[in-house]
């Protein structure tokens, strides 16, 4: 099975996160939110300072480019996975409950199996993230249904 390099995973995931959240909110807001999240997580994950996001907002296509100032190959898979998980989790929370559930599903559906496998090897399982994100709704629905049946 082909292995995806860490640099490519980071670049691709961040670009997709910006693209998906930009469709659910606004492109400028999505870029600003991503930059803010990365900055906020830098104390825990110093390697995130090597990420640069640039966007040409004045073109019709408004392409967002994520570039890396240095390689992520020396960063452990576990640390990189934790950082990606934190970014996805925080961005998901910023979108709200309803959009957030579909956000993770859309991200998972847009990635090739090679990326998903590499992410799982890093400790990031989008399927589990989606399940646990939706779990509170299931719990509330179950409690309400039980309460309704009792009354």
Report the length, in residues, of the chain. Answer: 151
User: Each residue's pLDDT tens digit in the chain (151 positions)?
Assistant: 457 899 999 999 999 999 898 887 788 888 889 999 999 999 999 999 999 988 665 555 556 678 888 888 899 999 999 999 999 999 988 877 666 668 888 999 999 999 999 999 999 998 888 776 654 544 555 555 666 666 5
Residue 142 has a pLDDT of 56
Residue 1 has a pLDDT of 46
Considering all CA atoms of the chain, what is the largest pairwise distance in Å, rounded to the nearest integer?
62
Strand blocks (E) in the chain: 51-55, 64-68
Residue 94 has a pLDDT of 83
Cα–Cα distance measured from residue 143 to residue 141, given in angstroms and rounded to the nearest whole number: 5
Residue 62 φ/ψ region, left for φ over 0, alpha for ψ in the -120 to 50 degree band, beta for the rest:
left
């Amino acid at each position: 099975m082909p292995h995806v390099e860490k640099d490519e995973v980071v670049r691709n995931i961040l670009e997709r996160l910006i693209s998906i959240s930009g469709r659910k909110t606004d492109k400028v807001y999505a870029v600003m939110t991503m930059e803010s999240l990365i900055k906020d997580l830098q104390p825990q994950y110093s390697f995130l300072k090597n990420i640069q996001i640039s966007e040409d907002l004045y073109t019709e296509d408004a392409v967002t480019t994520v570039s890396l100032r240095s390689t992520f190959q020396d960063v452990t898979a576990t640390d990189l996975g934790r950082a990606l998980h934190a970014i996805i989790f925080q961005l998901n929370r910023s979108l709200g409950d309803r959009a957030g559930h579909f956000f993770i599903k859309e991200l998972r559906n847009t990635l090739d199996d090679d990326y998903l496998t590499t992410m799982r090897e890093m400790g990031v399982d989008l399927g589990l993230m989606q399940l646990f994100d939706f779990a509170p709704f299931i719990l509330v629905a179950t409690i309400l249904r039980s309460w309704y049946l009792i009354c």
